[in-house]
A = this chain, B = another copy of it.
Amino acid sequence: MGVTMKDVAALAGVGVGTVSRMINDVAVKASTRKKVEAAIKELNFEPDASARALKTKRSQTIALILPTIWHPFFSEFAYHVEESLSKHGYKLYLCNADGDPQKEYDYIQMVKQSKVDGIIGITYSDIDKFVSTNLPFVSIDRHFSEAVTYVTADNFGGGKLAAEELDKRGCQKLVYIGGINQYPNETTLRADGFEAYCKEHHIAFDSLKIPEPIADFATPIKAFFDQVKAFDGIFCVNDTMAIEVMAALKTLDKAVLRDYQLIGFDGTKMESSRDYMLSTIVQPKQEMAAAAVDLILKKVAGEQTENRVILPVTFVSAGTTKDV
């Protein structure tokens, strides 16, 4: 603290420009490099990031905007984003938008204050109005328009896969349960894929789509199963919903595995070292994070990028589906 390039230059007997060039890996003669390195070490010099940012207009920082980090899917995703960014020498600003468009907007303003070089966003509001084409932005799980690059898991394929796995395990009557949001949402593709498989293979199915936000899961779920009495396979839009469905069905004396099989979506784990909580379609969160980081850094560097990346999902059997 307090020691600047000038001090280093003085001690090494060179100009400040030379020190700067060293720091930035620009060609420097070996002999002078030695001297400068020694001086840096002796003085314990640390380049000042603010000064550098002021000059270069780069802060080496990416903002991650998500609804809330307090959710296993997002926290796992954030973990991988930070990990990937860190490898590239970038830092991560964490932004909990809480579904509040104003908060999202506020964070986007930060980019203009040159605090961040780009934004990775998982957002369900109309953020695209604010992201101009010259602002590096990568959307996760949500397709805005051709101008906005996005990364997503193969939701449609995942829905199909869930139906197929249930079918393969002898289920005769399938059910889809999910929420439905006012904002267009890639997750509806999970239902589409599921239904497409059922139609294609002439499998009977029913769907329950609960309007979000959902305050009470139990009531609509029970009401639904009052209508649909016969069923032996359920696919839920995500793992959280699946757990709610299991709980609701238990009060109706229906036990998973004995009375029905169940597949969730996301592949949520409470912690990295623990198991999946149920059979589920796993999103490749680490790969999605890596892809998002890759894209955003390319954008920051001014390179052209593909405008969407769709990654494959996998099925993992973990306690709520039978062995095949």
Partner-B contacts on A (CB < 8 A): 1, 46-51, 53-54, 59, 61, 64, 68-72, 74-76, 78-79, 82-83, 86, 91-96, 103, 109-110, 112-115, 240, 268, 270-272, 274
Contact B48 A271, beta carbon cutoff 8 Å: no
Residues of B close to A74: CB separation below 8 A: 75
Contact B70 A96, beta carbon cutoff 8 Å: no
Residues of B close to A46: CB separation below 8 A: 109, 112-113
Q: Of all chain B residues, which has the CB nearest A74?
A: B75
Contact B240 A70, beta carbon cutoff 8 Å: no
> Given A69-B79, A72-B72, A240-B270 in contact, is the A115-B91 Cβ separation under 8 Å?
yes
| A7, chain B: closest CB distance, angstroms | 14
Contact B59 A70, beta carbon cutoff 8 Å: no
Contact A112 B1, beta carbon cutoff 8 Å: yes
Q: In the bound complex, how far is the Cα of B240 from the Cα of A59, in angstroms?
A: 38
Contact B82 A75, beta carbon cutoff 8 Å: no
Contact B83 A75, beta carbon cutoff 8 Å: no
Contact B96 A94, beta carbon cutoff 8 Å: no
Residues of B close to A75: CB separation below 8 A: 69-72, 74-75
Residues of B close to A49: CB separation below 8 A: 110, 113-115
| A103, chain B: closest CB distance, angstroms | 8
Contact A271 B114, beta carbon cutoff 8 Å: no
| A256, chain B: closest CB distance, angstroms | 16
| A27, chain B: closest CB distance, angstroms | 24
B48, B54, B93, B271: the one contacting A93 at CB < 8 Å is B93
Q: In the bound complex, how far is the Cα of B68 from the Cα of A96, in angstroms?
A: 17
Count of chain copies: 2
Residues of B close to A115: CB separation below 8 A: 49-50, 91
Q: In the bound complex, how far is the Cα of B62 from the Cα of A93, in angstroms?
A: 10
Q: In the bound complex, how far is the Cα of B50 from the Cα of A78, in angstroms?
A: 25
| A55, chain B: closest CB distance, angstroms | 9
Q: In the bound complex, how far is the Cα of B271 from the Cα of A268, in angstroms?
A: 12
Q: Of all chain B residues, which has the CB nearest A45?
A: B112
| 8 A-B pairs with least C-beta separation | A50-B53, A75-B75, A70-B79, A50-B54, A94-B94, A49-B113, A46-B112, A49-B115
Q: Of all chain B residues, which has the CB nearest A75?
A: B75
Contact B94 A110, beta carbon cutoff 8 Å: no
Q: In the bound complex, how far is the Cα of B112 from the Cα of A272, in angstroms?
A: 32
| A218, chain B: closest CB distance, angstroms | 12
Q: Would you give 13 A-B contacts (Cβ < 8 Å), ordered by A?
A: A48-B113, A48-B114, A49-B110, A50-B50, A50-B51, A50-B114, A51-B54, A61-B93, A68-B79, A72-B270, A79-B96, A86-B96, A240-B270
Residues of B close to A83: CB separation below 8 A: 96
Residues of B close to A50: CB separation below 8 A: 50-51, 53-54, 59, 114-115
Which of A51, A70, A82: most chain B Cβ within 10 A? A70
Q: In the bound complex, how far is the Cα of B40 from the Cα of A271, in angstroms?
A: 47
